[in-house]
Amino acid sequence: MDREFWLSRWEEGRIGFHQGEVHPDLRTFLDQWLDESHHRILVPLCGKSVDIPFLAGRGHEVAGVEIAPAAVVAFHDEQRLHPFVDEDGPFRVFTSPGITVFCGDFFDLDPEICGTFDRVWDRAALVALDAPRRARYVARLRELLRPGAQVLLNRFTYDQAIMDGPPWSVSDDEVETLWAGADIQLLQRVDAIDQVHFRELGFEEWIVTTQLITLPG
């Protein structure tokens, strides 16, 4: 995660990756990922995602992590939230009912600051990182997760010879390596080539994969 790259994207408003509606895969697989229990959910690299209030509105405790202050401010403005703001180590922490946003570098997060979680919504977080950082990212996630925790993962696979990331292409084999020891269930795999402008960029396919990853109990 190149800090300056993402900060400049948010400051300049180049946020085509942001979705103004709840992610359709989250809606589709919500019941397979969440049961009727109360969950602590982590949303890494969250931007100003509307998925956060969607999940909090269902009674869960949701924490987002975002490096760009502009994104954090925009999130609270757009959601009309008036958070309590405090400092905790390297983070500026914004706390609202059911929602906490840690403004800072994901890799600085540890259980002493944020506690542990039993669910993660990885909506294009893994693919926002280059290969060396992806291994560090999953290693840090494992430190933040409780036994039996589940990760709902949404990722892309494409011909990276046509375009470098982000978003980066992440293969099935890499996911299996990163999450070795966990149960990895395929929920959906679709070719999104006719969405947005992928074909115009020269791609023959743009695969979107959704998986449910369950850590050992």
Per-residue b/e over 37-63, b at no fewer than 16 CB within 10 Å?
eebbbbbbbbbbbbbbbbbbeeebbbb
For the stretch 98-141, pLDDT in tens is 999 999 999 999 999 999 999 999 998 999 999 999 999 999 99
**Count of domains forming the chain:** 1
76: closest CA among 105, 56, 58? 56
CA distances to 34, 40, 182 from 37, rounded to whole Å, are 8, 10, 22
Mean of pLDDT values over 186-197: 87
Handedness of CA 192, 133, 93, 215 (dihedral sign): positive
Domain that holds residue 100: 3-214
- The pTM (predicted TM-score) of the whole model is 0.91
pLDDT at 166: 81
Mean of pLDDT values over 157-184: 92
Q: Is the pLDDT reported for residue 11 higher than 70? A: no
**CATH number, residue 101:** 3.40.50.150
pLDDT at 106: 95
pLDDT at 163: 83
The amino acid present at 183, given as its one-letter code, is: D
The amino acid present at 53, given as its one-letter code, is: P
pLDDT at 18: 45
